[in-house]
Amino acid sequence: MKIVWAGSPHAFDVSDRISKLVASDPGFRKDNRSTLSRKELFKNTLRKAAYAWKTIVELRLSEEEAAKLRFYVDEPAFTDLHWGMFIPAIKGQGTEEQQQKWLPLAYKMQIIGCYAQTELGHGSNVQGLETTATFDPQTDEFIIHSPTLTSSKWWPGGLGKVATHAIAYARLIVGGREHGVNGFIVQLRSLEDHSPLLGITVGDIGMKFGNGAYNTMDNGVLRFDHVRIPRNQMLMRCAQYTCLCMPSDALYLDKVLDVYSIAFASIAVMLWVSQVTCEGKYKQSDVPRQLVYGTMVYVRQTIVADASCALSRAVCIATRYSAVRRQFGSQNGGPETQVIDYKTQQSRLFPLLASAYAFRFIGEWLKWLYADVTRRLQANDFSTLPEAHACTAGLKSLTTTTTARILTSKNTKTRAIVEKLRAPSKFSTSPWMFELHLVPVDSPFLVEYPVDPTRHGCGIRTGFIGIHRKKKRPGQRSSSSSEQIVSPLSSRWSPLEEESLPAEDKSLEERLDGIEECRKLCGGHGYLCSSGLPELFAVYVPACTYEGDNTVLLLQVARFLMKTISQLGSSKKPVGTIAYMTRVKHLMQCRCGVQRAEDWLKPSALLEAFEARAARMSVACAQNLSNFDNPEEGFAELSADLVEAAVAHCQLIVVSKFIEKLQQEIHGKGVKQQLEVLCNIYALFLLHKHQGDFLSTGCITPKHAALANDELRSLYSQVRPNAIALVDAFNYTDHYLGSILGCYDGNVYPKLYEAAWKDPLNESVVPDGYHQYIRPLLKQEICTARL
């Protein structure tokens, strides 16, 4: 099962080695984060970032390994933005000359960059940015300026204290005319003494949610006072500004979107030259010159991949602790019942466990889709692009609408219908590049290692899974550091783990709610920082903030659904994940064939129910929309319903991909059966949770719903004996998990006890403040005390 989770034996091997390397190196210790003051915390992060870099250089890690190392260091740092936003932005939006100048400096960290887009008053809506970049033909420079308070850059990670350079987004003004928002490379600090350059005011924006968590990062504020930069520091290949969401005005464009195009859109960003010449001319070609992919994708992919880990970590903690924790039900002085044996606990925990797997697999599928489309594009094969089937706007819609986190320019040029697609003219081969065309396309659902069920199942059902477990597995965790770390790897390219598709975005939200639910499932102790759950929650909260715009994204999916329905009569056939709409007639009238509870285990029954629900909800929305004279008004008015229809569609995708995976060959004794149980739990849990959708659209009857519920209960009993094995399969080290409640050996109580004494408050037995504030109370001297 570990291999299934990791994706491939190779991926397992790399993860396993690197995670153990990090875990065994005291330089990467992270259990003290919650007690450090802001300054100590930040300084410690600086140290770790330098130490990680040193380790990478000294051990000559491959880029795949280096990326994994940063991942397992598991601490938000300025390097995330440098590698994840600054470099990709230059690669994606810089001209060749710009790349040649800046990338080598960045690769060697001779400069450290950040990505400064968001402003105090402007987040989701990038077109509202106020920072200006005015061209001065006299000096051949741009003057970057923050005209208002709300134009202060606000949020960029790494900006506050570390970054020497920024990609800053600003409204381009040439000869008094505005040309939309563009990116500029601006130096912020002296490379000699790190002091801010003239005209630059820069600082940290202050404390964020949680202990440790994102407070390791110097999210910053930045104001420009007429800062001059050379003309060639405007990112000249920029036209589509990559960003974290979609403007609402784009909702009203006449566009085509389907799930393929959404996935594709996050791969392929249409770029063309927009230039300012030294004479002060602004030029932009009408036709995109290049199709570049693999730029901002990398950023979003890491955001999504990080968040996708979060749920599995929380589930791992809650599951292990639920087997250790005992409350009530003791008979004749025997041990109490493990709380994992309570049905109410199971009905909250196991759907989350199933979701962790479901999200992992949809991520793998996206990776595959991603690679597949990329490969075809390289071969000039556009046959799989849904746009080929879609409206005449063709790829124009792709560039303007794109996915979750790519913004359209308001510039009308960017909305021009693009008739032609050209293959990328050139690929960079720098080892620091994250271009996707080099990703090896391995079978996404490869399973090779057999799983030993005796080991996984050991002592869970009947036995004691607490402190003794360690003894049952002697030496198992200690061999890591002595293993050969730096092996020559066949591929130097890290496959992207996941991609942001609406289904993923939806699941993001579920994951976050899931972390909090896991914390609750741990009772009081889940509230301690040493449980790891508070920080896990706080760190992934920002991912959820991008989700604010998830609403907007889902509205786009809804718009695509409406479009698909409106075109059902035409020659444009829905393909890919929306192909079920071709059967809309059938789906509008089909009846659920389930007669006994077990019938719900048939993939066909599940799929049809989910397809019918999604189709009927979409059709209902389309009908309601048609009652409005003004479609835009109707869309705004019905937006809450449209979002629900979009959710139904996305859930169908996740369920169907899970089912598809199980139709493939899966090695390992019992592995497939366990996954089938999880798949059924996932689907039937969704069905129960969203019963209202299924019933109101008549897809199922109350009787069917009751049978589904019966089946769900019996599935919980089936997953119970394997629950621990299923979270062990994540193969997380105790270091990475960072949770006493979730520790591998189950030795929870002694560890909690020991950790408590490390709190700074315990440095002295009588607390600081006793003489000033407690003693006067006790001695009735409060009125004369100086407070």
Ligand X SMILES: Cc1cc2nc3c(=O)[nH]c(=O)nc-3n(C[C@H](O)[C@H](O)[C@H](O)COP(=O)(O)OP(=O)(O)OC[C@H]3O[C@@H](n4cnc5c(N)ncnc54)[C@H](O)[C@@H]3O)c2cc1C
Instruction: List binders of its own copies among 684-703 (CB under 8 A).
Output: 688, 690-698, 702
φ/ψ (deg, to 5) at 179: -130, 35
Residue choice 102, 115, 135, 658 for contact with ligand X (CB under 6 A): 115
Site for its own copies in 163-222 (CB under 8 A): 164, 191, 193-196, 202-211, 214, 218, 221
User: Residue 143: beta bridge partners?
Assistant: 134, 228
Choose the one of Ca ion, its own copies, ligand X, none that binds residue 115, judging by a C-beta under 5 to 8 angstroms depending on kind: ligand X
Residue choice 219, 403, 531, 564 for contact with ligand X (CB under 6 A): 219
- CB 508 → Ca ion: shortest distance, Å? 4
What is the distance between the alpha carbons of residues 274 and 235, in angstroms, rounded to a whole number? 9
- CB 362 → Ca ion: shortest distance, Å? 14
The yes or no reply on residue 280 touching its own copies (CB under 8 A) is: no
What is the distance between the alpha carbons of residues 35 and 277, in angstroms, rounded to a whole number? 54
Question: Which range touches ligand X (CB under 6 A), out of 21-29, 98-106, 113-121, 701-709?
Answer: 113-121
Catalytic residue among 535, 547, 608, 611: 547
Binding mask 518-537 for ligand X (x = CB under 6 A): ---x-xxx-x----------
What is the distance between the alpha carbons of residues 219 and 216, in angstroms, rounded to a whole number? 9
The yes or no reply on residue 588 touching its own copies (CB under 8 A) is: no
Residue choice 47, 586, 591, 669 for contact with its own copies (CB under 8 A): 47
CA of residue 474 relative to chain centroid, distance:
36
- 189 or 367: whose CB is closer to its own copies? 189
Residue choice 175, 450, 631, 750 for contact with its own copies (CB under 8 A): 750
- CB 32 → ligand X: shortest distance, Å? 22
- CB 416 → ligand X: shortest distance, Å? 24
Tell me the residue type at 185.
I
Eight-class DSSP state of 395:
H
How many residues belong to the site for its own copies (CB under 8 A)? 146
Asked whether the beta carbons of 537 and 515 are under 8 A apart, the reply is: yes
What is the distance between the alpha carbons of residues 687 and 98, in angstroms, rounded to a whole number? 52
Site for its own copies in 554-583 (CB under 8 A): 555
Q: CA–CA distance from 515 to each of 228, 409, 496, 538, 539 (Å)?
A: 46, 36, 24, 10, 11
- 513 or 598: whose CB is closer to Ca ion? 513
Tell which phi-psi region holds residue 141, choosing left (phi > 0), alpha (psi between -120 and 50) or beta. beta
Question: Which range touches ligand X (CB under 6 A), out of 112-120, 189-197, 415-423, 467-475?
Answer: 112-120
Residues near 265 by beta carbon (within 8 Å), at least 6 away in sequence: 257, 398, 399, 401, 402, 403, 406
Q: What is the 3-state secondary structure (H, E, C) of 285-318?
A: CCCCCEEEECCHHHHHHHHHHHHHHHHHHHHHHH
Question: Which range touches ligand X (CB under 6 A), out of 42-50, 100-108, 538-546, 661-669?
Answer: 538-546
Task: Please state whether beta strands 165-174 and 132-136 pair in parallel, antiparallel, or not at all (unpaired).
Answer: parallel
What is the distance between the alpha carbons of residues 369 and 501, in angstroms, rounded to a whole number? 11
Binding mask 527-566 for Ca ion (x = CB under 5 A): --------------------x--x----------------
The yes or no reply on residue 157 touching ligand X (CB under 6 A) is: yes
The burial class, CB within 10 Å (0-12 / 13-18 / 19+), for 404 is buried
Residue choice 508, 675, 712, 725 for contact with Ca ion (CB under 5 A): 508
Query: Closest Cα partner for 221 from 153, 158, 288?
Result: 153
The yes or no reply on residue 506 touching ligand X (CB under 6 A) is: no
Tell me the residue type at 775.
R
The yes or no reply on residue 156 touching ligand X (CB under 6 A) is: yes
- 344 or 482: whose CB is closer to ligand X? 344
Residue choice 18, 23, 81, 615 for contact with ligand X (CB under 6 A): 81
> What sign for the dihedral angle of Cα 118, 121, 124, 130?
negative
Residue choice 599, 641, 660, 734 for contact with its own copies (CB under 8 A): 641
Residue choice 509, 641, 660, 734 for contact with Ca ion (CB under 5 A): 509
Question: How many Cα atoms within 13 Å fall on the side-chain side of residue 415?
Answer: 14
- 363 or 603: whose CB is closer to Ca ion? 363
Question: Which range touches ligand X (CB under 6 A), out of 338-346, 448-456, 556-564, 592-600?
Answer: 338-346
Question: Which range touches ligand X (CB under 6 A), out of 320-328, 531-539, 643-651, 676-684?
Answer: 320-328
The yes or no reply on residue 344 touching ligand X (CB under 6 A) is: yes
Tell me the residue type at 762.
N
Residue 157 labeled ligand binder: yes
- CB 249 → ligand X: shortest distance, Å? 8
Query: Closest Cα partner for 647 from 511, 784, 510?
Result: 510
Eight-class DSSP state of 487:
P
Residue 733 labeled ligand binder: no
Eight-class DSSP state of 644:
H
Query: Closest Cα partner for 68 from 56, 77, 58?
Result: 56
What is the distance between the alpha carbons of residues 298 and 312, in angstroms, rounded to a whole number? 22
Tell me the residue type at 651.
Q
Binding mask 295-314 for its own copies (x = CB under 8 A): --------------------
- 154 or 540: whose CB is closer to Ca ion? 540
Binding mask 449-488 for ligand X (x = CB under 6 A): ----------------------------------------
The yes or no reply on residue 623 touching its own copies (CB under 8 A) is: no
- 488 or 524: whose CB is closer to its own copies? 524
Choose the one of its own copies, Ca ion, ligand X, none that binds residue 157, judging by a C-beta under 5 to 8 angstroms depending on kind: ligand X
- CB 109 → ligand X: shortest distance, Å? 18
Token digits for 727? 């979270």
Residue choice 162, 234, 244, 406 for contact with ligand X (CB under 6 A): 244
**Helices 639-663 and 502-521 sit at what angle, rounded to 10 degrees?**
90
Choose the one of Ca ion, ligand X, its own copies, none that binds residue 508, judging by a C-beta under 5 to 8 angstroms depending on kind: Ca ion
Q: What is the 3-state secondary structure (H, E, C) of 46-89?
A: HHHHHHHHHHHHHCCCCHHHHHHHHHHHCCCCHHHHHHHHHHHH
Query: Is 119 one of the annotated active-site residues of the chain?
Result: no
What is the distance between the alpha carbons of residues 558 and 552, in angstroms, rounded to a whole number? 10
Asked whether the beta carbons of 164 and 187 are under 8 A apart, the reply is: yes
Choose the one of its own copies, ligand X, Ca ion, none that binds residue 156, judging by a C-beta under 5 to 8 angstroms depending on kind: ligand X
- CB 360 → Ca ion: shortest distance, Å? 17
- Cα angle 661, 654, 623 (rounded to 5 degrees) comes to 135
Tell me the residue type at 412.
T
Site for its own copies in 135-154 (CB under 8 A): 149-150, 152, 154
Annotated binding-site residues for FAD read 118, 157
| Residues recognised as catalytic | 547
Applying CB under 6 A, the residues found at the interface with ligand X are 81, 115-118, 123-124, 155-157, 214, 219, 244-245, 248, 325, 327-328, 339, 342, 344-345, 521, 523-525, 527, 542, 545-546, 548-549, 551-552
Q: Which residues are annotated as a binding site?
A: 118, 157
